[in-house]
Structure 1
């Protein structure tokens, strides 16, 4: 493990978060005191920043914000809690405990995130510690699920290449554990109230990889197994692409760096970026490489401007060759040359798939990731009943779906019966809906400018009518929506991307690659529901009549001159059409 970089008190001129981290005593801050303050449902401002490292965000119910303000009441504060779950894998026993937490302390739903884990919404401050303790009893935690550290590590989850996927899971788990913050603050604050060894005094505790002020910004790592790019490898700071030998075993990994989705409306110095392929490594080298890449970003990343603090901007500023040279200097060896690879999609295989061992896996489509019961579909209850009898595992996908995994052949009929009894399978969806994804947005996310999770299903329903008119009901087209430009649902890698600009108003992006390798580009600015449909309907009709054999929608709109190709993230804002709203 790397020696901790000596960090004195941050000099003037740095981003405010740098000073908060510096004086936090390794992420403790005054969180304990904030929890004890009964006069408010909120916690102290600095603690809201430190809380992210512990896996929670302070939010309020924005649907009632104005009404409460009129009554001189503070906002209806609550907390979102995100779990660290490497590669999205959990046991049936853990599933039942997570379900119980949702119905006891949260809003009665589980939310599958776009980062292959769960998060809870609506946890009030008085229940925050109880919820953390319940998560600990499920042998899970929330540390580093958010914050300026390496976050939940994702790995390909479609298990039709089981041996390779097992290797991807093991690598994801190893990196996650290796890059966890070493502070004892999480257990000290949330679990037993006792200081762990090394936590008695600030001078006795250290962060060997991160240092006292951690990273300049969040850091995201993923592991992909071609031909599936279900984790959107190019959207993340660090990635590993499995390279298979002739027998299908892992020969090593291509390493990617510098991807990221966030940007700011109107600020062309910010942009999404697809990752670069840096080189090749063996499995034995992979975790060491992850650590050293983190330390380069720790030392080189911009700590003055958080909008410019992600690894993608470090590489844009310093250059890929300089970054590789510094990495190899710290490693003490050189990376190999990248090996050939190819992807063919970013989606999940909905329904049953059997692996080479004879085990079955059922991928259940979860619209926008919200696991709940409605009159039509009892998803929460159905998966609860399955967990009571299932002896395999559950996998959360990066597309917000759930896989009932490792089902023995003799148990398949029983699982099918439970799915049918709760009206959650088998089901048929259009290609557009199967490839849709939305962030939470309103009413809880404080950054949201527009709806996303609550709106996208209805928009897709109307777009399905237009697709039906064109004879494209089953055409796989990737559509993603976010309520703000931060890009949590990775809209800039969607063939159709919609990003909130204000209430009911969105920017429309077109032209990403179906395999997730190319960004889209802004096509129309500030348009509303009817205009979105009016813009897309003629494009669907043209696509149906004029597409080439196996030509994807994103490629078609570029070939026909509807939108220019985005060659690199720094050109994301260039070559824009006349953006009539």
Structure 2
């Protein structure tokens, strides 16, 4: 529908979403409402819903909405404080631009909210007492986790010169720099921008970094998934220019986007846009809350596809040629302690679209959330709450108004698998890539120095994975040996030398810098994993067995603990909720098993759970599946009645071996029976005692 016609019908509502004093933005309403001349409604109107659909004579897939006329809502809709800040900001400029020029070490409340959209959070070091030491965390925007060689080297330099000397890899395939002082913000930002990087939209109420498999395969579907992720990221990038005004004095340093992206953004055939606005998709208010998108290929769940607001899956034909996409909607991890109406949620199938329509479908979903997501209470502003309230059928119907077509049925998909891409792999173009495990994504010390030397010497590009690891790309075969040697000397080992528990574990930064953290995560998880390994050894679980463990310092769930087999969510000082029931392939939501478990008491919970998993599991049953099958009542009984495994000797402190030779012989026999030496010795003793008692009885 023509922008002029939309403007003519919507003048009265132009400021409803908060256009600035000198600007008017047209509030998009459904195509059918405009066609039938209905009264334009505020974009926040909760009853702006289609009551029926009809097919166009030209295409059976075109939707036109029909609405019962309603009286205009003249009451003022309640909005959160952040909504007011956005409205008055002149598209994310004011008062951030003024606050950055002051001598103070910090910025005010409004600027603190606005700088998130530019990719930064204001923080303080909570380990320090007394006067607050303000600093800033910067997060980059790297669709698919791709990091060009030049950008990596620059980030490495900036971490040393302006940060705390470390780089951090995030669960959304980006970098975080910690410890940037306000006076250095512009220098650091402009350096990133001028070296092929960006932080725009890494935080804030808009589309965040778009995930895709980090593996640099040349397979058609992988390349297509990554290209799609990059196009979606470009489509939903803010357009007003505020970012470049603040950080590079108005100079736009950006690569040209594909024409199909520009076309999709500018298309207003179904009332998705604010005509003549600097932000045609976002308007002055942007989205109600953060918005997350991931793209992947069938079976590859390296991106935790179901945890995103939108999950996009490439669908190919029998020859491997991409044909279209399955779309999931409504995932999200964040929640609030003791508020049962907040919850983590998995995405669910929305439908299928042909490949040429994907940008239009994504835009329609984003606009549906923009128009209907809650803006009064940020606890409930994510799209998952809208879908939970409406139901998927109603949500689909509304999205179809903005899409202009009906979604096709969801295509069948194979089972999902978690893929880490650690170790050496063929790319498919004669070159290799090497996936490196980085504990909690923290790169520092000798590891940081060695990585820089390798990346600089061989001119390598890198990719960040959604599991906080790093992939070195485009490696010639002749470089494999010297690179492997250098990595090993820096502690970056081949995956077979890394504890399996560490391979899938994740933690958020938490203390001391995150203002939301209740307790430790990144600093606490190394000891937690060692203690879990000790429990494994004690109850007789093999070294190559593992569970997915994720730890976060607060309920926001940045390390996606609600998908873990064993999730630990900070709920007090040195205290965690224990969540159980996730799946190794990240397709099942965990549930809260226990509250307020002190970190020093973890073994009291984990030891009986792992002990009974070892002895009562079905063939090939994962820990998460076991806990679900047992049920929490039975698991609680196991914990409450636990006195320790008899085999461990912990209750009787028996010294079974008097010499090394006997122990080694017993250990070898035990290994053949998949037991510990202690377990086998106890069996021998019990059998001997039983036989003697039977002899006496006879």
Same-fold call, TM cutoff 0.5: yes
Q: Is the 8 A contact 1:112 1:369 kept in 2?
A: yes
SS at 1:154 equivalent:
coil
Question: In the alignment, what sits opposite 1:244?
Answer: 316
SS at 1:497 equivalent:
strand
SS at 2:127 equivalent:
helix
Q: Is the 8 A contact 1:2 1:209 kept in 2?
A: no
Question: In the alignment, what sits opposite 1:89?
Answer: 146
Question: In the alignment, what sits opposite 1:54?
Answer: 118
Match of 1:106 among 135, 147, 163: 163
Which is further off, 170-179 or 532-541?
532-541
1:171 aligns with 2:171: no
SS at 1:515 equivalent:
coil
Question: In the alignment, what sits opposite 1:466?
Answer: 535
Normalised to the residue count of structure 1, the TM-score between the two structures is 0.91
Q: 1:520 to 1:132 in 2, by over 3 A?
A: same
Question: In the alignment, what sits opposite 1:306?
Answer: 378
Distance in 2 between residues matched to 1:558 and 1:246, nearest whole Å: 36
1:497 aligns with 2:580: no
Q: Is the 8 A contact 1:510 1:520 kept in 2?
A: yes
Taking the TM superposition and a 5 Å limit, the aligned residue runs for 1:89-488 are 89-159=146-216, 162-192=219-249, 205-373=277-445, 378-426=446-494, 428-469=497-538, 470-488=540-558
Q: Is the 8 A contact 1:493 1:513 kept in 2?
A: yes
**Deviation string, structure 1 residues 387-434 (Cα, Å, up to 9, x no partner):** 113344211000000011232223222322321332322351222111
1:29 aligns with 2:94: yes
Q: Is the 8 A contact 2:150 2:196 kept in 1?
A: no
Shift in Å at residue 28 of structure 1?
A: 0.3
Q: Is the 8 A contact 2:217 2:223 kept in 1?
A: no
In structure 1, list runs of 5 or more residues that go unmatched: 197-202, 566-575
Distance in 2 between residues matched to 1:194 and 1:542, nearest whole Å: 63
Question: In the alignment, what sits opposite 2:35?
Answer: none
**Deviation string, structure 1 residues 304-346 (Cα, Å, up to 9, x no partner):** 1111110000111122111111111211112221111134433
Q: 1:13 to 1:577 in 2, by over 3 A?
A: farther
**Deviation string, structure 1 residues 106-146 (Cα, Å, up to 9, x no partner):** 11111101111001100010111111011012111111111
Distance in 1 between residues matched to 2:429 and 2:222, nearest whole Å: 13
Which is further off, 343-352 or 165-174?
343-352
Question: In the alignment, what sits opposite 2:16?
Answer: 8
**Deviation string, structure 1 residues 10-60 (Cα, Å, up to 9, x no partner):** 54521111111001000001112111211x211011000001100000000
SS at 2:569 equivalent:
strand
Q: 1:306 to 1:130 in 2, by over 3 A?
A: same
Q: 1:394 to 1:343 in 2, by over 3 A?
A: farther
Question: In the alignment, what sits opposite 2:106?
Answer: 42
Q: 1:291 to 1:204 in 2, by over 3 A?
A: closer
Q: Is the 8 A contact 1:261 1:486 kept in 2?
A: yes
Which is further off, 77-86 or 356-365?
356-365
Distance in 1 between residues matched to 2:443 and 2:176, nearest whole Å: 11
Q: 1:370 to 1:270 in 2, by over 3 A?
A: same
Shift in Å at residue 171 of structure 1?
A: 0.7
Q: 1:104 to 1:478 in 2, by over 3 A?
A: same
Shift in Å at residue 578 of structure 1?
A: 12
Which one has the largest radius of gyration? 2
Distance in 2 between residues matched to 1:281 and 1:390, nearest whole Å: 41
Q: Is the 8 A contact 2:548 2:584 kept in 1?
A: yes
Distance in 2 between residues matched to 1:339 and 1:111, nearest whole Å: 37
SS at 1:146 equivalent:
coil
**Deviation string, structure 1 residues 76-129 (Cα, Å, up to 9, x no partner):** 000001001101001222211111111111111111011110011000101111
SS at 1:63 equivalent:
coil
1:17 aligns with 2:74: no
Which is further off, 310-319 or 333-342?
333-342
Which structure has more relative contact order (CA 8 Å, sep 6+)? It is 1
Q: Is the 8 A contact 2:609 2:639 kept in 1?
A: no
Shift in Å at residue 161 of structure 1?
A: 7.2
Q: 1:253 to 1:419 in 2, by over 3 A?
A: same
Which is further off, 204-213 or 276-285?
204-213
Shift in Å at residue 347 of structure 1?
A: 4.7
Shift in Å at residue 194 of structure 1?
A: 6.7
Shift in Å at residue 153 of structure 1?
A: 0.5
Q: 1:520 to 1:577 in 2, by over 3 A?
A: farther
**Deviation string, structure 1 residues 423-470 (Cα, Å, up to 9, x no partner):** 322351222111100000000000000000000111001111111232
Shift in Å at residue 577 of structure 1?
A: 9.4
Q: 1:544 to 1:413 in 2, by over 3 A?
A: same
Q: Is the 8 A contact 2:168 2:177 kept in 1?
A: yes
**Deviation string, structure 1 residues 343-391 (Cα, Å, up to 9, x no partner):** 4433513211223334322111111110111xxxx22111101111334
Which is further off, 553-562 or 505-514?
553-562
Q: 1:579 to 1:21 in 2, by over 3 A?
A: farther
Q: 1:465 to 1:579 in 2, by over 3 A?
A: closer
Match of 2:134 among 74, 77, 85: 77
Shift in Å at residue 243 of structure 1?
A: 2.1
Q: Is the 8 A contact 2:172 2:211 kept in 1?
A: yes
